[in-house]
């Protein structure tokens, strides 16, 4: 592959940004370069990454989803409430997770109906459903904080794959979730690049009319996308509840921006048709790095949000500039052809 082309890729720019930022933070405070901190960054990225994979699929298809935090917390909270209400075996870990995924898919189906059957613009549809989901949960399911979640979920929060105790310093713990998360990430990547469904998602983002002429059912693809995203968000929601060891129905509000920022920084174009899982992983890592370690740089924690905003702004501006340069090149090329 051409070296310059590789350099211009979004992923390369992200890797450079992550390395530079790490060096700057590391120079300022040596505790940054410890295994414990690395594992902490991983741990805080798990839930974000699951949400981000869902958002990535939606953005590739040319839409935007702002309802995923509502879907996530709805699924996670409702699963915990159901477990407690019906006194299901609290030692069963898989049951609440399966419940949350099913609830997530059901909520995703609501989005799918609004978007695929009625053709409502995705931002407006998901803004509406996110109000509905959040309101329904707080009105009918519960608005109180649950601190004694089922035992299995609570224990899962501290299930470590490996513990490394360095000669001096804090104990580094790698959470067991790293394995399923890596598997899911690889699966989503394969789904997008190797299956008919994945290719239709890219096609849909490239152009609706063209996709229709290819003989791909727009409605069916969109319905699948939003249900899949619902399922991923449900899983993310229950894992969030488990890792936090509490179910708070007011949580996750406003987290949509960080995740959309991560996906867009990862190179997914909001116009659709572009984006890779690898880029998204890097975007999530970059955002986690900034949110978790800004304090080490001596920046007050209250500037975190501004930092994410500025980063997102830089990301989209660069993307837009590249886009218009490409469009110009294309125009020049067609003009040359016409001139000959």
Partner 1 sequence: MKERLSKFNTGLLADRKITQLMAITALTFGYFSIVSKDIFFTSANFTSMSYQIPEIAILSIAVMLSMLTGGIDLSIVSISNAAALVAAWIMTGHISKSGYESNLWIVIACIAGIMVGLLAGAVNSLLVAKLNVTPILATLATMTLFNGIAIGMTDGVSVSGLPDQFMRVGNGTFFGIPTPFVLMVVIAFAIGVLINRTTLGLKVFLVGTNRKAAQYSVMGDRKVIAWVYLVSGFLSSLAGLIIASRTSAASPDFGSSYILLAIVVVVLGGINPNGGFGTVTGVILATAVLQMVSSGFNALRFSQFFYLVSQGGVLIFVMILNVVLERRRTSRSISKSLRS
Confirm or reject binding of residue 335 to partner 1 (CB under 8 A): no
Confirm or reject binding of residue 331 to partner 1 (CB under 8 A): no
Confirm or reject binding of residue 181 to partner 1 (CB under 8 A): no
Confirm or reject binding of residue 130 to partner 1 (CB under 8 A): yes
CA 43 to the chain's CA centroid: 14
Count residues near partner 1 (CB under 8 A).
Answer: 49
How far is CA 152 from each of CA 161, 251, 252, 330, rounded to the nearest angstrom?
A: 16, 21, 22, 57
Judged by DSSP in three states, 252 sits in coil
Q: Which value, to the nearest 10 degrees, does the dihedral of the CA atoms of residues 311, 317, 321, 327 take? A: 120
Shortest distance in whole angstroms from residue 217 CB to partner 1: 18
Contacting range for partner 1; rule: CB under 8 A; set: 44-52, 158-166, 284-292, 298-306:
298-306
Question: What is the widest separation between alpha-carbon atoms in the chain?
Answer: 78
Shortest distance in whole angstroms from residue 299 CB to partner 1: 9
Confirm or reject binding of residue 123 to partner 1 (CB under 8 A): yes
DSSP 276: -
Confirm or reject binding of residue 306 to partner 1 (CB under 8 A): yes
Confirm or reject binding of residue 114 to partner 1 (CB under 8 A): yes
Q: Distance between CA atoms of 218 and 192, rounded to whole angstroms? A: 16
Of 14, 235, 264, 285, the residue at the interface with partner 1 (CB under 8 A) is: 264
Confirm or reject binding of residue 86 to partner 1 (CB under 8 A): no
Q: Distance between CA atoms of 223 and 38, rounded to whole angstroms? A: 38
How far is CA 76 from each of CA 44, 98, 106, 162, rounded to the nearest angstrom?
A: 17, 10, 13, 26
What angle separates helix 35-60 from helix 218-244, to the nearest 10 degrees?
160
CA 27 to the chain's CA centroid: 30
Residue 201 and residue 209 in contact, taking contact as beta carbons nearer than 8 Å: no
Q: Which value, to the nearest 10 degrees, does the dihedral of the CA atoms of residues 248, 250, 251, 252 take? A: 150
Shortest distance in whole angstroms from residue 258 CB to partner 1: 8
Confirm or reject binding of residue 127 to partner 1 (CB under 8 A): yes
Binding residues for partner 1 restricted to 155-174, rule: CB under 8 A: none
Of 310, 329, 330, 332, the residue at the interface with partner 1 (CB under 8 A) is: 310
Shortest distance in whole angstroms from residue 61 CB to partner 1: 15
Confirm or reject binding of residue 119 to partner 1 (CB under 8 A): yes
Confirm or reject binding of residue 317 to partner 1 (CB under 8 A): yes
Confirm or reject binding of residue 297 to partner 1 (CB under 8 A): no
Which residues contact partner 1 (rule: CB under 8 A)? Answer: 64, 114, 118-121, 123-125, 127-136, 138-139, 143, 253-254, 257, 260-261, 264, 270-271, 300, 302-310, 312-313, 316-317, 319-321, 323-324
């Amino acid at each position: 592959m051409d070296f310059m082309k590789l350099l211009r890729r979004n992923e390369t720019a992200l890797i450079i940004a992550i390395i530079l930022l790490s060096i700057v933070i590391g120079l300022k405070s040596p505790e940054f370069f410890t295994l414990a901190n690395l594992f902490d960054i991983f741990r805080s990225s798990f839930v974000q990454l699951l949400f981000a994979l869902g958002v990535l699929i939606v953005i590739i298809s040319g839409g935007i989803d702002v309802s995923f935090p509502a879907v996530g917390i709805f699924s996670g909270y409702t699963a915990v409430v159901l477990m407690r209400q019906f006194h299901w075996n609290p030692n069963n870990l898989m049951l609440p997770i399966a419940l949350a995924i099913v609830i997530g898919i059901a909520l995703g189906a609501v989005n799918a109906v609004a978007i695929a059957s009625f053709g409502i613009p995705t931002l407006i549809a998901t803004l509406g459903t996110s109000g509905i989901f959040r309101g329904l949960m707080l009105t009918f399911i519960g608005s109180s904080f649950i601190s004694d979640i089922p035992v299995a979920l609570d224990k899962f929060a501290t299930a470590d794959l490996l513990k490394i105790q360095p000669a001096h310093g804090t104990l580094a713990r790698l959470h067991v979730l790293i394995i399923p998360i890596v598997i899911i990430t690889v699966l989503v990547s394969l789904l997008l690049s190797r299956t008919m469904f994945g290719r239709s998602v890219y096609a849909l983002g490239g152009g609706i009319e063209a996709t229709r002429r290819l003989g791909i059912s727009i409605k069916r693809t969109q319905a699948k996308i939003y249900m899949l995203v619902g399922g991923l968000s449900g899983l993310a929601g229950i894992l969030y509840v488990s890792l936090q060891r509490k179910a708070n129905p007011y949580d996750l509000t406003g987290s949509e921006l960080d995740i959309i920022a991560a996906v867009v920084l990862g190179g997914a174009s909001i116009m659709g048709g572009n984006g890779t899982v690898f880029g998204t992983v890097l975007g999530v890592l970059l955002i986690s790095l900034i949110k978790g370690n800004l304090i080490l740089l001596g920046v007050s924690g209250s500037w975190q949000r501004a930092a994410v905003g500025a980063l997102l702004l830089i990301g989209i501006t660069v993307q837009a500039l590249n886009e218009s340069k490409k469009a110009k090149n294309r125009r020049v090329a067609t003009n040359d052809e016409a001139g000959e």
